[in-house]
Structure 1
Amino acid sequence: MTSTGHVTDDIDVEQLLERPMHCIGMYVAAASLVCTLAMAADTFNGFRSKKYWFPSKYFSLNATSLTLLAVVMKLPVDLTTRMYTATDRLAKVSSLVFMSTAMANFFTSLGSMGDKDILMNVTALAILVITVTTNVFIQVIQVRNLLSGRLAFAEELLALGSMLLLLVMFSSSALMIPSTKRYLETKYKAMYKFALNEEQVEMGNVTTDKLRVLVKKHWIMAETSCLQSVVARSVTCTLSGAISLLISLVLVEAYIRMAREYRILNQSNSSYGWSTKWILLTQTTGVIIGTIAPASRWFIAISFRSSNEGINSIKSAIRVEGYWTQKMMDWKQSSLSANIRHLKTRKFVHDLRGQFLELCIFAQFLVVLSSKLVILVSVCIISPPILFFNYVRRLKRGKRISDSGFSRHEKVSKSTTKLDLDIKHYVMLLEGEVELPTDTVKSICKEVDVVIQKGKKHKPKELLKLLFKSHNFNGVIEFDSHHVPSLHSQNLPYCWSLPVVTLTSIALAIPNVEKHKSNTLLNSVTEGLSIVKLVDKHFGKKGDLANVRTAADVVWVGVELYHKWQDNDLHETSLKGKNSKEILQELCNKAEKTVMEFKRDARDCLMRNPLNWPAKIIAANSMYRISKTILLTHGVESDKTDEEMFEQISIMIADIIAACLTNLARVITMKCHSNAIEERGKSVRKAALLLGETEEILGLLQQRELPVYLAPDQAAYIEEWRGLFKQENKNNN
């Protein structure tokens, strides 16, 4: 009686302990679903952007993805739960296949990491894979007497083997990246100088066509030197796609075989219960979706090599390029970082390290050479149907062209052949890489046109209307006069944006101006400032004008969002019934008072330099000088109406923005060249968007004559413009 009761209690306790297993199973299914959605997002993004090497944007190798995969691997590492039914065994196999699929999707993300991140993340991945492998082997050893009845045992071993093989190839790719990055950086710098010398883009001599060609060249360089793209083109990554495809077929085979012998997805005798079905469903879906990107990389690489030239180049280049082993060679030849004083010990450690690295170099050699051989075999097997398909497609295209008229096709081909040949010179390839097909290069160039066209849809229409009011650059010198007494012994220099926002604040405060005119000016300046700030940012890297630019930003936030200048409501000011001269005097007095009170209360020695003043004080100083200047020069004319004063200030704003935007060509050129290889693609895309947005502005400014003695480096700064104009005025007088 007591014994039976004790057994019953044990069963009740066991059932109580196993009750949460269903929730744990759903947690595993949820983690699998998140990984699946991330892989699906990357696949969709690759197709949408026509980047068929599928960059890793959402599903990359990092702490988050590795943590999710650790949860996904719950079933393979579970050594205590009995899982003997068909559904349970398939769930274990699907988990291992899911891990292999995830690793194949991880490959391109290596290109977006620094050397330290690569080391840390690859090490973490290796620990996870080895842990899973160890747990599976422990379980196999424990039930070795029952292996004949262990369902899907062969598929489980194949999935485990693919996971280990992908880890080796993953490590091989990681070792290749540092030396590849150095090579691409050196090649990019040489090509960049060549591109600049070839086009000779200079201020005053620039055309939108030249800029478009320059952007295309840099786009080609950025896209083909993108480390994610380079990794995707590597033989190890290409082969990982084939392995991913094969292991997914193993899972399909397991499904078919189990379907013949058992009723799968029907029941589970493990503690996970019905949640096993959800795990199996989400992970199988993940394998299907996750296989698309790696398999596509493999198929496209095979297609590239399917031409006769590609086959011959592969046959003549079965060798391991230096960048695969360069990093380990550097390690081998470098001195020991450890501080070992004993000479014999240091020599022993150095020799031991050298032998270990020799072994690693030999292993790397085998991995790369084996990958190349497997790809060569794949090309030989798959190229005949691909070549036949391409031949049929060319016949259809030729028939379609002949039906539409040969002369038109001939004209188009002649006009594009020279450009295509020029652009192809800027394709960045590693040693031993197969040349990209012409269609691929054209597709990359077309993407530039799409981005530029997208920029055109957001062109600043209101800004263009404002710029048409500017016929010279006189406003650059007129907004601030040297006759205005300074509030400090040292005059504050201007950036481009500060006088623009100050003049706009004054214009909005002028009374008796039609509301639609004020709104139009506000919208025009809003569009213009986004570009003006780019000029300030790109040419103000020394940081001397950092506080001045901040002052302009602070003022503009108040003006644009709240119609206020330093807590003074501009709309309310314009409705007080005063004339423009009185409004200017009021703004001048308030600004002067603000600066003088600050100077009186300031005790910090840093405040002796006006460049260190707070943003509010710098803005007030600008308001004082500009409003006082307008009072001295334009406000003395008693017959000038408020509308005329508003129009005069609008022209000054237009002159300053126009002078600033003469630097647009240089800004676009600078955006094309980004020092960080990881950010280069984004930077060139921004340059293409900016070109599309400002193409009409560039065309308008081309018709303007710039000051003769103004060098391109000087044109980037408003103070240089003002200095040159002052010198010319002195010479004329």
Structure 2
Amino acid sequence: MKLPVDLTCVMLGIYDKLARVSSLVLMSTAMANFMPSLGSMEDNEMLLNLAALGIFVVTIAGNVYIHIVQILNYFDTRQTLAEEIGSTVLMLLSVLILCSSAVIVPTAKTYIESQYNQMHKRVSNDEQVGWGSNFAIDKLRIVVRRYWVMAESGSPQFVIARSVTCVTSGVMCLLTALTLLEARIRSPLVYKTARRTYCNYKWSINWILVIQSIGVAIGTIAPLLRWFNAAIFKSSKIGHKSFKDEFKVEAYWTQTLKHWRDSPLPLKIGHHKFRKVVHDAKRLLLNFCIGVQILIVLANKLVLLISAIFVKGVMFCFCDIKYLEASDSDESDGSMDFSRYVLLLEGEAELSKRTLKNICNEVDKLIQIGKNKQSNNLIRLLHKSVNFDGVREFDSSEIRSLNSQEPPNCWSLPVVTLTSIAISLPNITDCKSNKLLSAVSEGLYFAKLIEKNVEKNGELVSIRNAADVVWVGLELYRKWQDKDLQTAGLKGKTHKETLQKLSDIAEKTVTNFKTDTNNFLVQDPLNWPVKVIAANSMYRITQTILLADKDDHLQIDEELFERLSIMISDILAACLTNLARVIIFKCHNCSINDRERSMRQAAVILGESEEIIEILEQRELQAWIQKKHLILEGGERL
């Protein structure tokens, strides 16, 4: 906007004037693209942005008209005068429409959120995603699609983007772009003898004109498509409503202004008469704003209706409109209908079948992106788990505690500790170790996701941090507590010696902490340093394995490595049974502004974990059949 506000330079060249016009057109184009972003703003943020933008645009318009007055006495000053004035008027109207759209944002958010909560209750009652059913993954996929349609149709940006004011901004964006195109074609042809540039900007004017023209061309695409799609859909509905219904101004357009009008004054004024005068003045001003808002809405609806009639006439010349209506109505044939999960404002036209299909296709693409990133190493590891016995076997109650209170466990800490032990075993090839590390790395991605979303009170943050610290050292450096697991100093000749060394190091770490720290921190395990928490876990798990070794026959390193791998698989499998719960949690447990982002994450996670959920689903089904079979056998014996 440097050129339109520069009053110090008299720009008489033909390209100089075109560059000023392109700057004004680019400003209108930017505002048309900016309009849907109003939905993502909070009320105060929106007010500040619009105030700043309004001051900026009014300043530009004022400088443009001052510049026009300055150069009226120059020869050939009217070469692009009409285009400058027209572009400035359209720019001011764009700001007015932007403010009109901003007024409905708080009311629209409240209405959509209320509608979303009602729909959420219906979805929760209709579909119960649980284990033990061959269709659990299919139900989960359907539920994600339903929540996706709710999130996308109820997105504040999308609500603003499909409003009549946004449609009108598309028309204005097209008009400004055509104004620039007309000026660029007409001026060089009509004024062939005029100088191209005649100002202090010299050769840079050419680059400014080219770059801004490209910006206008690209920026016009999105607003134009919004207008065209709305006009096509509206053209198929012409005649379905009465004239009165077509131009009905819904309550949400003026509800915020009426609330401001009827609310008490925010200022404390002592004198009763003066307070009454100020309040009446406020009511008078806001009544005027309500009237302007109604006129703007009616004008926008008229623009949409005229656009629809125009598009219908154009389409009638090239193809049969009935064919378009039929093809649009057949878009959803053969697939589940999600139209009843679309969130709409009061009196808003339903989404076209084509738009709804595009919304559903988008979530399918996200699920497919997740499928392409499936964790193959983790899946192979989970196949080793037959049941969930490893969850109770990794820590024996017979092991004496190093403190009066034991820190609680999370899913990831025992997995990381068991992996550290497995890597430290002698006579284990690097190939096996690397495969286990890769599988555990993929499993920890889901485990951390589950821990973060399932645990609401945040009590296990220190336990999760301990797992993270240990895993960084293990994955990157093959170390535990800065002790290299691959060196001969830590590895014993047998796995029992190695386990005992790890146990002694862990016990010493916890004991030193108890003797060197005040009693308050020692008594509450959640306040322990992460290294002490990790050491306590290592001590208990190594002692549990050594205790089990006394009862069993002597195992070779490969057998113990396989046993630890199965234990890790059991723990991860038990943890991952919460994946469906996390996906559903991410679908609906977020604010309206973050809902779309959270739903994208849920869709990708569903794609990444589909095969994992199917494996665990089959295991649950087999366990249920086995349990039923044992019950039947017991009944026959009785």
**Corresponding position: 1:117 with 2:24:** no
Distance in 1, Cα, partners of 2:52 & 2:61: 14
For 1:211, the aligned partner's letter is: L
Q: Give secondary structure in 1 for the equivalent of 2:320.
A: helix
1:194 to 122, 142, 152: 122
For the pair 1:446 / 2:375, whether they are aligned, the reply is: no
Counterpart for residue 256 of structure 1: 185
Describe the superposition over 1:130-155 as per-residue Cα deviations: whole angstroms up to 9, x where unpaired.
11111122223334555974321111
Q: Distance in 1 between matches of 2:273 and 2:210?
A: 60
- d(CA) in 2 for partners of 1:310 and 1:501? 67
The aligned residue for residue 457 of structure 2 is: 542
Deviation at 1:357, TM superposition (A): 1.2
Give the one of 62, 65, 80 matched to 2:8.
Answer: 80
Asked whether 1:678 is paired with 2:593, we answer: yes
Q: Alignment partner for residue 435 of structure 1, among 327, 350, 354? A: 350
Secondary structure of 1:172 counterpart: helix
Query: What's the CA shift for 1:581?
Result: 1.0
The answer to whether the 8 A contact 2:384-2:569 is kept is yes
Cα distance in 1 for partners of 2:622, 2:452 equals 23
Secondary structure, aligned partner of 1:481: coil
Whether 1:165 aligns to 2:80 is no
Structure 1 residue 541 displacement after superposition: 2.1
Question: Cα–Cα, structure 1 residues 264 and 96, in superposed 2: closer, same or farther, change >3 Å?
Answer: farther
Find the aligned partners of 2:433 and 2:377 in 1 and give their Cα distance.
12
Q: Which amino acid aligns with 1:128?
A: F
Percent identical residues: 51
Tell which deviates more after alignment, 496-505 or 303-312: 303-312
Once the two structures are TM-superposed, the CA of residue 258 in structure 1 deviates from its matched residue by 0.9
Query: Counterpart of 2:542?
Result: 627
Helix, strand or coil for the counterpart of 1:504?
helix
- Find the residue that maps to 1:571 and give its secondary structure: coil
Aligned CA distance change for structure 1 residues 148 and 458 (closer, same or farther; 3 Å): closer
Counterpart selection for 2:213 from 284, 296, 305: 284
Higher mean alpha-carbon deviation, 85-94 vs 203-212, is at 203-212
| 8 Å contact kept, 1:258–1:264 | no
Residue type at the aligned position of 1:340: I
Q: How far 1:333 sits from its partner (Å)?
A: 2.1
What corresponds to 1:137 in structure 2? Answer: 65
* 1:377 counterpart residue number: 306
Gaps of 5+ in 1: 1-72, 399-409, 710-733
Aligned residue runs from structure 1 range 302-451, under 5 A: 302-308=231-237, 312=241, 316-386=245-315, 389=318, 391=320, 394=323, 415-416=334-335, 419-420=336-337, 423-451=338-366
SS of residue paired to 2:235: coil
Check the 8 A contact 2:404/2:523 in 1, yes or no: no
Q: TM-score, with normalisation over the residues of structure 1?
A: 0.81
Kindly state the Cα deviation for residue 219 of structure 1 after the two structures are TM-superposed.
0.9
Q: Which of 147, 155, 171 is the aligned partner of 2:83?
A: 155
Residues 652-696 of structure 1, C-alpha deviations (whole Å, 9 max, x = no match): 111111111111111111111132112111211111111111111
My pick for the range that moved more, 563-572 or 154-163, is 563-572
Paired residues of 1:492 and 1:611 also in contact (CA < 8 A)? yes
Cα distance per residue 1:515-559 (max 9 Å; x no partner)? 222111111111111001111001112011110111111111111
Alignment check: 8 A CA contact 2:437 2:475 kept: yes
Specify whether residues 641 and 129 from structure 1 end up closer, same or farther in structure 2 by C-alpha distance, changes over 3 A only.
same
Provide the residue aligned with 2:148 in structure 1.
219
Question: How far apart are residue 376 of structure 1 and its match?
Answer: 0.8
Output the amino acid matched with 2:181: V
> Secondary structure at 1:572's aligned position in 2?
coil
Q: Deviations over 1:7-56 (max 9, x none)?
A: xxxxxxxxxxxxxxxxxxxxxxxxxxxxxxxxxxxxxxxxxxxxxxxxxx
Q: Do the aligned partners of residues 314 and 620 (structure 1) sit closer, same or farther apart at CA in structure 2, a change above 3 Å counting?
A: farther
Correspondence 1:468 to 2:405: no
**Contact 2:370–2:606 (CA under 8 A) maintained in structure 1:** yes
Sort the Cα spacing of 1:393 and 1:327 in 2 relative to 1 into closer, same or farther, 3 A. closer
- What secondary structure sits across from 2:9 in the alignment? coil
Residue in 2 that maps onto 1:3: none
Greater mean alpha carbon deviation, residues 665-674 or residues 141-150: 141-150
| 1:581 and 2:496 correspond | yes
Q: Which residue of 2 is the match for residue 483 of structure 1?
A: 398
Structure 2 residue aligned with 1:691: 606
Asked if 1:617 corresponds to 2:532, the answer is yes
Contact 2:427 2:557 in 1 (8 A): yes
- Give the aligned partner of residue 660 of structure 1: 575
The gaps in structure 2 that reach 5 residues or longer are 625-638
Partner Cα separation in structure 1 for residue 237 and residue 176 of structure 2: 30
1:80 partner SS:
coil
Maintained 8 Å contact 2:13/2:194: no
Name the CA distance, whole Å, in 2 between partners of 1:575 and 1:536: 32
Question: Cα gap change, 1:264/1:551 in structure 2, threshold over 3 Å: closer, same or farther?
Answer: farther
Residue 523 of structure 2 corresponds to residue 608 of structure 1:
yes
Alignment partner, residue 511 of structure 1: 426
In the alignment, is residue 494 of structure 1 matched against residue 409 of structure 2? yes
Superposition deviation, residue 218 in structure 1: 0.7
Q: Which amino acid aligns with 1:79?
A: L
Q: Could you tell me which amino acid in structure 1 is paired with residue 361 of structure 2?
A: K
Q: CA deviation at 1:610?
A: 0.9
1:555-570 correspondence to structure 2 within 5 Å: 555-570=470-485
The Cα shift of 1:591 comes to 0.6
Shift of 1:387: 5.0
What is the alpha-carbon distance in structure 1 between the residues aligned to residue 173 and residue 332 of structure 2? 40
Are 2:111 and 1:183 aligned? yes
Letter of the aligned partner of 2:169 in structure 1? S
In structure 2, the residue matched to 1:296 is 225
Q: Distance in 1 between matches of 2:75 and 2:50?
A: 33
- Which digits, 9 at most, give the CA deviation of each residue in 1:583-629, with x for residues without a partner? 11111110111111112111373443110111111111111111111
Task: Please tell me whether the aligned partners of residues 220 and 426 of structure 1 are also in contact (alpha carbons under 8 angstroms).
Answer: yes
Q: Name the CA distance, whole Å, in 1 between partners of 2:530 and 2:254.
A: 54
Pairing of 1:698-709 with structure 2 (within 5 A): 698-705=613-620
Correspondent of 1:102 among 30, 42, 49: 30
CA drift at 1:325 = 1.2
Distance 1:637 1:265, change over 3 A: farther
Taking the aligned partners of 1:226 and 1:656, their CA distance within structure 2 comes to 38
Q: CA deviation at 1:390?
A: 5.5
Judge conservation of contact 2:131–2:620 (CA < 8 Å) in 1: no
Q: Does 1:210 align with 2:134?
A: no
1:396-451 CA-to-partner distances (Å, cap 9, x unmatched) read: 999xxxxxxxxxxx9x98642xx12xx11001111122211112212221222222
C-alpha contact (below 8 Å) 1:448/1:688 kept by paired residues: yes
CA 1:638–1:159 in 2, change beyond 3 Å: closer, same or farther?
Answer: same
Please, what is the CA RMSD of the aligned residues?
A: 2.5
Give 1:243 deviation, angstroms: 0.5
Distance 2:75 2:592 in 1: 52
Q: Tell whether the 8 Å contact from 2:315 to 2:321 is kept in structure 1 after alignment.
A: no
- Kindly indicate whether the alpha-carbon contact (under 8 Å) linking 1:511 and 1:574 is maintained by their aligned counterparts in 2: no
Tell me whether 138-147 or 111-120 shows the greater mean CA deviation. 138-147
Counterpart of 1:80 in structure 2: which amino acid?
Answer: T
Distance (Å, rounded) in 2 between the aligned partners of 1:359 and 1:233: 26
What TM-score do the two structures reach when normalised by structure 2?
0.93
Letter in 1 for 2:219: G
Quick one: distance in 1 between partners of 2:95 and 2:165?
11
Q: What amino acid maps onto 1:164 in structure 2?
A: L
Q: Give the match for residue 33 of structure 1.
A: none
Query: Structure 2: which amino acid aligns with 1:155?
Result: E
Contact 1:581 1:635 in 2 (8 A): no
Maintained 8 Å contact 2:484/2:490: no
Q: Cα 1:544–1:255, aligned 2, differ >3 Å: closer, same or farther?
A: same
Structure 2 equivalent of residue 14 of structure 1: none
